[in-house]
């Protein structure tokens, strides 16, 4: 299995630009999670999906952030317009089933730098 795939691995953009991060979960997994990691705030859950439906987006910092999951094998996290404080590593993770026993599998992350 290829694991969770994220692209791009690195993104450098200027303030005000739109940024789109992409994620392909592990085949067969029905939960998908987006996290943000910074030194100051640690690992924060932004949003998660079950069977392509957003379940909890309470972690999305503001309206500039949006996430979609058009099908079981693809999700995007979009920031428009981007700001320097959005600079962070963004992780996508997936898991199978709703049991608390099942671990989440993380992608390698996208390091976003907003200048």
Partner 1 sequence: GDSVTQMEGPVTLSEEAFLTINCTYTATGYPSLFWYVQYPGEGLQLLLKATKADDKGSNKGFEATYRKETTSFHLEKGSVQVSDSAVYFCALSAQTGNQFYFGTGTSLTVIP
Q: How far is CA 94 from CA 31, 64, 65, 68, in A?
A: 5, 24, 20, 15
Nearer to partner 1, 64 or 69 (CB): 69
Contact region with partner 1 (CB under 8 A), list: 14-22, 66-74, 76-84, 96-104: 96-104
Nearer to partner 1, 67 or 109 (CB): 109
Going residue by residue from 34 to 73, which x/- string records binding to partner 1, judged by CB under 8 A? Answer: --------xx-x--x-x----xx-----------------
- What are the structure tokens assigned to 32, written together? 């998908």
State the chain's maximal CA–CA distance in angstroms.
41
81 CA to centre of own chain:
17
């Amino acid at each position: 299995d290829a694991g969770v795939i994220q692209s791009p691995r690195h993104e450098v953009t200027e303030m005000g630009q739109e940024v789109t991060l992409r994620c392909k979960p592990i085949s067969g997994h029905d939960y998908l999670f987006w996290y943000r990691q910074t030194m100051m705030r640690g690992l924060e859950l932004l949003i998660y999906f079950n069977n392509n439906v957003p379940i909890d987006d309470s972690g999305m910092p503001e309206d500039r952030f949006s996430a979609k999951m058009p099908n079981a094998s693809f999700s995007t996290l979009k920031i428009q317009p981007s700001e320097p404080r959005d600079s962070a590593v963004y992780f996508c993770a997936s898991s199978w089933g709703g049991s608390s026993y099942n671990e989440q599998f993380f992608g390698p992350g996208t390091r976003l730098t907003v200048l």
